[in-house]
Structure 1
Amino acid sequence: MSELPKTFDPAEIEARWYAHWEEEGLFRPERDDAEPFTIVNPPPNVTGSLHIGHALDNTLQDILIRRERMRGKDALWVVGTDHAGIATQMVVERQLNERQQKRTDFSRAEFVAKVWEWKEESGGTITRQLRRLGCSMDWSNERFTMDEGFTKAVTKVFVDLYNEGLIYRDKRLVNWDPGLKTAISDLEVENVEIAGHFWHFKYPLEDGVTLDSGEDFIEVATTRPETMLADMAVAVHPSDERYASVVGKHVVLPITGRRVPIIADEHADPELGSGAVKITPGHDFNDFEVGKRAGIAPADMLNMLDGEANVCQTADGLVPDEYIGLHRFRRDGVDGARELVVQRIKDAGCLIPHVTKDKDGEETVHDAEPRKIMTPYGDRSNVVIEPWLTDQWYVDAETLAQEPIKAVREGDIEIVPKSWEKTFFNWMENIQPWCVSRQLWWGHRIPAWYGPVRDGEHLSYNVSDRSKNKVFVAKSESEALKQARDYYAEDREIEFTDDPLDGMNSFLQAASEKRLSDKIFLLRDADVLDTWFSSALWPFATLGWPDDAADKALPLDGGGLGGGEPSASAVPGGDVTPPPAPPHQGEGRTVAKPGTALARHYPNDVLISGFDILFFWDARMMMQGMHLMGKVPWKTLYLHGLVRAADGQKMSKSKGNTVDPLGLIDKFGADALRFFMAAMESQGRDIKMDEKRLEGYRNFATKLWNAARFCQSNGIGASETLEPPPCDKPVNRWIVAETIRTVQELDLAFADFRFDGAANTIYHFTWDRYCDWYLELIKPVMSGDERGEIDDETRAVAGWVLDQILVMLHPFMPFVTEELWSKLGDRADYPLITAKWPLADARAMDEEAAKEIDWLIRFVREVRGARSELNVPPGAKLDLYFAEASESARTVLSRDTAALGRLARIGDLHLRPPPDGSLMQVVVDESTYYFPLEGVIDLDAEKARLAKALEAAEKEVASLDKRLSNPQFVEKAKPEAVEKARADHAEKAAEAERLKAALARLG
């Protein structure tokens, strides 16, 4: 046993113990024969640093993995980082910009090399920070989504899904970030409410056509006037009688002169504005669907912007030259397409002004109506996102979603809290094709090569639209070359290139000389894969897939399956569609080889994730895992909430209300932060940041430290047995029973993923039961009984219970518990991190002893409460009179006089009625106990004080009653004001009841 310092120093303990655990390999002890338990960590961005959401997510995972390790399982916590395509490329480009360089100053290979250099030098920040939090991950097998093995897995999945017709190219709208010049996911779009305008335009009806009202135009309104350059229709509701006569007719657009149809579609709301809406299918997600329903193929939809959001010519050539090259918005003091469109519409007499009146009735004419508009911004570029029509690679998510839907419905995957199931089904059953291509240089490059299309002996090559060329999808250049040789069946040289002009120049030169080109160039697809595509493979690719898996012999007899050519059925708005369902759906393409980590640890046991990535990551892991492995990726999906600011607002850098978890660790210690996260994690609710609670949990660690020092000073050390020591004393039998009950409650809470319930269970047992009651009750015993003998039984029990506390508390607070474990006994070869989780053996529970001590605790609490209410001086001892108490109560009171003297300041005990005079009365289990107060307090003054305080409290209750019963206050006041009034009412009402009881005690 090593003496504990007086002061608990978290920083020194944390650094020392984490290094020891990691160096000794204790995060993954050798347990090949044990039952496996597996968690994969959501891989944080390699560019990232620990934020408060990471702290919550990883704390919950570590609690589970530490507990399962202590339960003797082969507990594997997979760790790694995501290559974070956009974020990482931005970091490196920013560094280049600081040196007056840009990405395009380098070749693609040179730039990617610079990214790898950055990753090796600076990409480990967050993993170092996870160590500070105490995360017991398997660092010896740390993975990266761009490492060699993972890249092999990603390439195989892409090629296999393509060959099955589940990956294909299509022309659709995407979230286009003009700042980054790439498509981005919905998660990377931040909707912000900004001040904008609503413009009203007249779209003239074609000659000779009028509405029933006699007007020769249709009024439309828009918040994005510049997009009218690519309008392709005007939509009205099918039931709107105002427009029934003109459906099927046309309007002639101002500026472009384009003749576009008037169509009927339920997207148009008859109650909103004029009931007619302009349709720009190439630049609006809703309009895209309207356009498809109207029979406009995506290939025919008009695009009026280039990748930088500058106006370009549409396919019909009707955009006037003065717009070409203009930015969509005003920029750097120069009017953009928006301003010019509004001016030209106004010049043409087609702008419907917005008129306002002041208080005197004087009218003012405005070009537009001011409006607050929700506008999508790129979360990294801070540029307005443009819905943009492009050719991209898509995954047939609808097909892949079927097995996950079935798995959740049938209980093969349990979503906790269950309330998220409805959201899951709603999204999965209405899932859209998943765009997986990104226009970046850093990432998994799409394994596709484009070559000329063969038509007999003629070869044609299209540089401007690569989708019109022949595509070869393969795991390597050598496989692509084999495919190309089979396709072209010619002996001409085939060369790979990244330059799209190589192939065109070669063919143009040959054509000018009236001969065939000497070479066939295969152009590598320039795009990379969405990072969610690679991270969707995380549960099995981190475990050795595909090297440790064998391909199944599966039928590929669907239309177009197996050759990379999807079936020829029409896609609404696309070229082709994949078959509705591969014949092997649900069986899995591969099976894990026996004896491998893949066979042992897939499926995983639990995934802990924020609800905000349920669809971006969790659902996609379900899709890929079930399709490729034929099994669910994990048995339970636990979705936690957000950590919010103290006032309940969502944290964001723009609001300046973010919290640095490392700063909290510096201030309160990692154990306090971890315990706060667990105690506040209540299923289905967000967490409000509260430093007062953090301070309280740091005090909890200090309380445990001081309790251990007290035990140590009294010769209490490490227990020598896993079983409870034999004991006769009621107080010892009671604490043993309470310990076992606590283990039972903890096990139940963990089974239900009730982190808050588990944390609060061990907290109250440690602080209330053990420290505040048990140690206080045994203090007289520890100092020796009347014969001067030391109580070995109590020392053994106290040490055993303290050991159980350290074990149960370790998953939540690993550092302080490991330190105390090591100092209370010589257990260097048996560290707490690998100690055994307690068994909830009900046979060791003594209910009679529990009832006895519980009664004693309630009695002491009642006496303490009464003394406080009546202002009895703390040091004053009061005699106790009791004549009607039960036999068991008499036994407890007469046996525990020393404890009663210490804990309740009780003097002599008298088994008879009390003398006449003023008495303090305490009722416990319908028996009354009396304490004479003569000479202890001024009874008249105390009665007067209590009566005055009661009158004031009742007056305040009446006032709050009146306010809360007033409907105007409840309905019109701010919600926080109403809530405060209710809380004040409850507080004052309780105070009044307490004062009444205090007066009653005085008889």
Structure 2
Amino acid sequence: MTDNTQRPHDGHNSPAPELPTQYAPADVEGKLYERWVERGYFEADAASDKPPFTVVIPPPNVTGSLHLGHAFEHTLIDAATRRKRMQGFETLWQPGMDHAGIATQNVVERELAKDGKSRHDLGREAFVERVWQWKGESGGQISGQMRRLGDGVAWSRERFTMDEGLSRAVQTIFKKLYDDELVYRAERIINWCPRCLTAISDIEVEYQEDDGELVSIRYGEGEASVVVATTRAETMLGDTAVAVHPDDERYRHLVGTEIELPLTGRRIPVVADAHVDPEFGTGAVKVTPAHDPNDFEIGQRHGLPAPAVLDERGVITAHGPFQGLDRFEARSAIVGALRAEGRVVAEKRPYKHSVGHCSRCKTTIEPRLSMQWWVKVGPLAKPAGDAVRDGRVAIHPEEMTKRYFDWVDNLHDWCISRQLWWGHRIPVWYGPNGEMVCVGPDEEPPTGEGWHQETDVLDTWFSSGLWPFSTLGWPERTESVEKFYPNSILVTGYDILFFWVVRMMMFGMYAMDGTPPFQTIVLHGMVRDQFGKKMSKSFGNAVNPLDWMDTYGSDAVRFTLARGANPGTDVPVGEDWVQGSRNFANKIWNATRFALMNGATVDGPLPAPEELSAADRWILSRLNTVVAEVDAYYDDYQFAKLSDALFHFAWDEVFDWYVELSKTTFQAGGPAADASRRVLGEVLDVTLRLLHPLVPFVTETLWTALTGGESLVVAQWPADSGFRDAAAEREIAVVQELVTEVRRFRADQGLQPGQKVPARLDLTGTALAPHEAAIRSLLRLQPEGEGFTATASLPVVGATVALDLSGTIDVAAERKRLAKDLAAAEKEKAQATGKLGNEAFLGKAPEPVVDKIRKRLATAEEDIVRITAQLAALPEA
């Protein structure tokens, strides 16, 4: 049976005082969490001889607060980590925050703007100082919210991407990349925010359908003319060619010639390029190399100039009547001027099209040619792909592996510079004569007249890409690096598979001698509302998880999120589901109170099987089966399935069946009651251990009260002892079937669940005979008594239950209702039988449709049998 050996930290002290009648999460959670932290349960010892289990927190932005996506992700990580700690691993859940360059700078700039100031009024040094001040006063509120959720992180190891140690790691790896010629400076097209005045990464661009205008414009005259279409007419001022496909007969005579660019007085060439889709639009496209990434590539292939016509704020710089206009003002003015010259062939307004916006300030992004720093990703990406291909790193669910390869095998060089003041400043110095020197962390920068440091800072993803090892003290080979690298698992959303995961893989293998940063990458989906819609403040469906925690408790929020966590798929969540999880916590509470009030104990070994009742042996058999199931689901990261298995075992089998079956045993007293008290204590002990990683607060409170043990956080994880009792499981299954059928009959007759009914039970010769007292208790069946008349008789699983329903139901009305139900079931059977007997239908219908009809037929036949029996059981009217 289950393992009863004394476990570390499980010593039985005096049991806690009697539990309150109701569970109040607010009275428990905060105090309990602080006790765990004070006792150092979540800390990790690099000198320990226990096997390591390491997982990093995807670092939330220092500007952020806990949203439902965080709560979801943290619940899964915490559950996995708590289980490993209970299994005897030296666990490290590494906490920390990201400095979030653009987001944080914007926050502080908005604060300055309230006083009518900008960062330029302060200057770089004073502004950065102001950001550090804001970080100390207001940043990082998410840490307190993580405590509310119950995150078992090693707080003494909390890191920040701008910490001195992590900054040293950033400078070290930049220097290494520079020396290996894997970083370089070049002029390329980037995403530019005219409001934030910086390049931004792809993940910081949000695309939405905007109303625009598609304008078709004629370039050139007569036969030597082409029509191009654009939604960004202002960029035509920077056109340096028109491109057509080499095989497009319509324009072959124009390739190599020049045509007039309207409004400018310039002539531009017509070039042939295979990038052009001859089937799209007119088959001719305008080429603006300085303001479009595809046009830039065409320009590179054909040696075209790339004049910029928009400045960093999106203002026209090209000489002429439009100079000084904002890009959107210029768009209208240019279209008007083209229209006046008869150059506009067609206009489509409004024209819905996808437009990129800055995720921070919502400004429309401008593709812009700019001098930036880049990482040459090819030599880094190949090892990151090979590590997954050869099995050193597993991706879960496996179907996400293709998406990983789609990214890692097709990477473009990565723009890592940002035109900000807050962040890791690029450690490159420029000299007066064009010199360029990269400085490592232990090197002195060049000095003297004319030398200055690069003003740009590094992309936030650059420093967060080092997270799995920089947080452990790298570049020094610290004890923590040796113990806790590589990470055991990474748990994160599939949406940042490229932006974060791939970059950690590249940097980890590059910096750590070819060792991947993770053994397993576990990808989860996004949290959505109960209708499957993305949560957003603008949609009015965003949820603050703290509100739900205040109302229902943190355990309820955690359990709801875990039950929805199917690998790689999005998670719909509604408040009524959280309420259901709160009810589950209350059910656990009430069942444990019942056990304590009836003397349930964990002291001493379990009685031998022959000393136990069938119900005792049944629940112990089921308990061990569930232990094995839960372990298998954890090892496969099937959080939804393990949560569901525990929910149904605890609620359905332990609370609704075993506890109820035990009541009659306890009332009878004697050795059987003593045995059941020990079994009930064992079952609750193990069940609470199994539930603890998911719902830590309520289980800790109940387990310490039940066992007198120190803490579930450091208690031993249950093991499957291998005990199974198929005979007991069959015997209790028969009891359950009888009770279920009689309960259904009672409900069909309109009897209230608590309504007592006289009954005669003929259980002779069945396995049910020893359970008569429990059956009567579960079904509210009184002894026959004087004047008993069997008005209804139910044959169930070889037994007969005769009920005296006289005076309890309207027999005529009940016959009428059942006759109607029977007619509906017979009609359903006839329809299903007709379809399944139709060869033409069977030949055309898909197999799932045919299978559905077969199931309808089986259900109808079962209903007919059931209703017919109910009619036969009714007394005469």
Q: Which amino acid aligns with 1:931?
A: A
**CA deviation digits over 1:309-357, x for unaligned, max 9?**
11123xxxxxx3322221101xxxxxx2112211222232212144xxx
CA 916–784 in structure 1, closer or farther in 2 if over 3 Å, else same: closer
| Match in the other structure for 1:876 | 757
Please list, as runs of the form range in 1=range in 2, the aligned pairs for 1:42-441 lying within 5 A after superposition. Answer: 42-204=58-220, 215-296=223-304, 300-313=305-318, 320-329=319-328, 336-354=329-347, 368-441=348-421
TM-score (norm 2): 0.90
Secondary structure at 1:521 match in 2: coil
Q: What is the Cα deviation at residue 452 of structure 1? A: 2.8
Q: Deviations over 1:194-251 (max 9, x none)?
A: 111111111005xxxx6xxxx3311111111001001121122233221122222221
- Aligned with 1:856 (options 735, 746, 754): 735
Aligned residue among 685, 709, 717 for 1:837: 717
Q: Is the 8 A contact 1:950 1:992 kept in 2?
A: no
CA distance in 2, matches of 1:959, 1:470: 87
The question of whether the paired residues in 1 share the 8 Å contact of 2:612 and 2:676 is answered with no
**Relative to 1, partners in 2 of residues 1:947 and 1:293: Cα closer, same or farther, differing over 3 Å?**
farther
The reply to whether residue 903 of structure 1 matches residue 782 of structure 2 is: no
Distance 1:658 1:195 in 2: 26
Could you say what secondary structure the match of 1:263 adopts? strand
1:20 corresponds to 2:25: no
Change (3 A) 1:781 1:431: same
User: SS at the partner of 2:768?
Assistant: helix
Q: Does the C-alpha gap of structure 1 residues 776 and 930 become closer, same or farther in structure 2, counting only changes over 3 Å?
A: closer
- Opposite residue 243 of structure 2, the aligned amino acid is A
Greater mean deviation of Cα atoms: 626-635 or 944-953: 944-953
SS class of match (2:249): coil
Matched, 1:6 2:21: yes
RMSD: 2.8
Provide the C-alpha distance between the structure 2 equivalents of 1:779 and 1:375, rounded to a whole number of angstroms.
Answer: 66
2:794 aligned residue? 921
Query: Given the alignment, which residue of 688, 698, 701 partners 1:816?
Result: 698
Selected match of 1:767 from 644, 651, 675: 651
Structure 1 unmatched runs, 5+: 314-319, 330-335, 355-367, 454-468, 482-493, 496-519, 549-592, 910-914, 963-981
Q: 1:756 to 1:939 in 2, by over 3 A?
A: same
Letter in 2 for 1:16: K
- Structure 1 917/699 Cα, relative in aligned 2: closer, same or farther at 3 Å? closer
Query: 2:686 & 2:519 partners in 1: Cα distance?
Result: 30
Distance 1:270 1:790, change over 3 A: closer
In structure 2, what residue type is equivalent to 1:706?
N
Q: Distance in 1 between matches of 2:167 and 2:89?
A: 31
Q: Pick closer, same or farther for the CA change 1:995–1:92 going to 2, 3 Å.
A: farther
Instruction: Work out whether residues 917 and 932 of structure 1, in 8 Å CA contact, stay in contact via their aligned partners in 2.
Output: yes
CA shift for structure 1 position 305:
1.0
Question: Once the 2 structures are TM-superposed, how far is the Cα of residue 991 of structure 1 from its aligned partner?
Answer: 8.5
What SS does structure 1 have at the residue aligned with 2:426? coil
The CA deviation string for residues 504-553 of structure 1, in whole angstroms up to 9 with x for no partner, is: xxxxxxxxxxxxxxxx31111000000100000000011110122xxxxx
Distance 1:143 1:104 in 2: 30
Structure 1 match to 2:439: 474
Q: Corresponding residue for 1:947?
A: 819
Aligned position for 1:792? 674
Amino acid at match of 1:255: L
d(CA) in 2 for partners of 1:727 and 1:666?
A: 46
One-letter code aligned to 2:473: G
Query: Aligned-pair distance for 1:394?
Result: 0.5
2:186 aligned counterpart, secondary structure: strand
- Residue identity matched to 1:112: V
Letter matched to residue 244 of structure 1? R
C-alpha offsets along residues 365-396 of structure 1, whole Å, 9 cap, x if unaligned?
A: xxx44311111110111110000000111011
Q: Given the superposition, is the C-alpha separation of residues 958 and 236 from structure 1 closer, same or farther in structure 2, using an over 3 Å criterion?
A: farther
Distance 1:722 1:147, change over 3 A: farther
Q: Which residue of 1 aligns with 2:663?
A: 779
| TM-score calculated relative to the size of structure 1 | 0.79
Assess if the C-alpha contact under 8 Å between 1:727 and 1:797 holds in 2.
Answer: no
Farther off after superposition, 250-259 or 626-635: 250-259
> Residue 612 of structure 1 is aligned with which of 484, 491, 495?
495
Of 632, 635, 639, 1:755 maps to 639
CA gap of 1:816–1:349, structure 2 versus 1, over 3 A, is: same
Match of 1:535 in 2: 464
Cα-to-partner distance string for 1:569-618 (whole Å, 9 max, x where unaligned): xxxxxxxxxxxxxxxxxxxxxxxx6xx11011100100000111111111
Name the residue aligned to 1:1002. Answer: 871
Identity value in percent = 44
Query: Which range moved further: 287-296 or 171-180?
Result: 287-296
Note the alpha carbon deviations across 1:51-83, whole angstroms, 9 max, x for none.
Answer: 011000101000001000100110110000001
Deviation of residue 934 (structure 1)? 6.7
Structure-2 change in CA distance of 1:755 and 1:722 (3 Å): farther
1:391 partner amino acid: M
Question: Could you tell me which residue of structure 1 aligns to residue 842 of structure 2?
Answer: none
Hey, what's the Cα distance between the residues in 1 that align with 2:283 and 2:830?
54
Cα distance in 2, alignment partners of residues 435 and 94 from structure 1? 27
Answer whether contact 1:179 1:383 (CA < 8 A) is retained.
Answer: yes
Residues 737 and 952 of structure 1, relative CA distance in 2, 3 Å threshold: closer
Question: Could you tell me how far apart the structure 2 residues matched to 1:93 and 1:959 are?
Answer: 71
Query: Does the aligned pair in 2 maintain the 1:198–1:371 contact within 8 Å?
Result: yes
State the Cα deviation string for residues 914-955 of structure 1 (Å, max 9, x = none). Answer: x9987543443xx47453567365544322111124446888
1:682/1:756 contact within 8 Å kept: yes
CA 1:476–1:694 in 2, change beyond 3 Å: closer, same or farther? Answer: closer
**Between 895-904 and 599-608, the greater mean CA deviation after superposition:** 895-904
User: Separation in 2 of the partners of 1:4 and 1:819?
Assistant: 9
- Deviation of 1:666 after TM superposition, in Å, equals 0.5
**Are the structure 2 counterparts of residues 93 and 934 from structure 1 closer, same or farther at C-alpha, using a change threshold of 3 Å?**
closer
Shift of 1:684: 2.8
The answer on whether the counterparts of 2:220 and 2:259 sit within 8 Å (CA) in structure 1 is: yes
Query: After the TM superposition, which residues 532-931 of structure 1 pair with which residues of structure 2 at under 5 Å, given as runs?
Result: 532-548=461-477, 596-629=479-512, 630-720=514-604, 727-785=611-669, 791-827=673-709, 830-842=710-722, 844-872=723-751, 874-881=755-762, 890=766, 892-906=767-781, 919-924=792-797, 927=798, 929=800, 931=802
Give the secondary-structure state (helix, strand or coil) at the position aligned to 1:421: helix
Between the aligned partners of 1:116 and 1:221, the Cα distance in structure 2 is 48
> 1:812: Cα distance to partner?
0.4
Task: Tell me which residue corresponds to 2:847.
Answer: none
Alignment length (residue pairs): 833
Q: Which amino acid aligns with 1:806?
A: L
| Structure 2 partner of 1:508 | none
Amino acid at match of 1:322: P
Structure 2 regions of 5+ residues with no counterpart?
Answer: 1-14, 835-850, 873-877
Instruction: State which of 455, 464, 467 in structure 2 corresponds to 1:526.
Output: 455
Which region of structure 1 is more displaced relative to structure 2, 727-736 or 394-403?
A: 727-736
- Highest RCO, 1 vs 2 (Cα 8 Å, sep ≥ 6): 2
Contact kept, 8 Å, 1:236 with 1:265, in 2: the verdict is yes
Q: Aligned equivalents of 2:562 and 2:335: distance in 1?
A: 56
Q: Deviation per CA, 1:616-647: give whole Å up to 9, x if none.
A: 11110000001110201011111110111222
Distance in 2 (alpha carbons) for counterparts of 1:917 and 1:814: 51
Q: Secondary structure of 1:306's match? A: coil
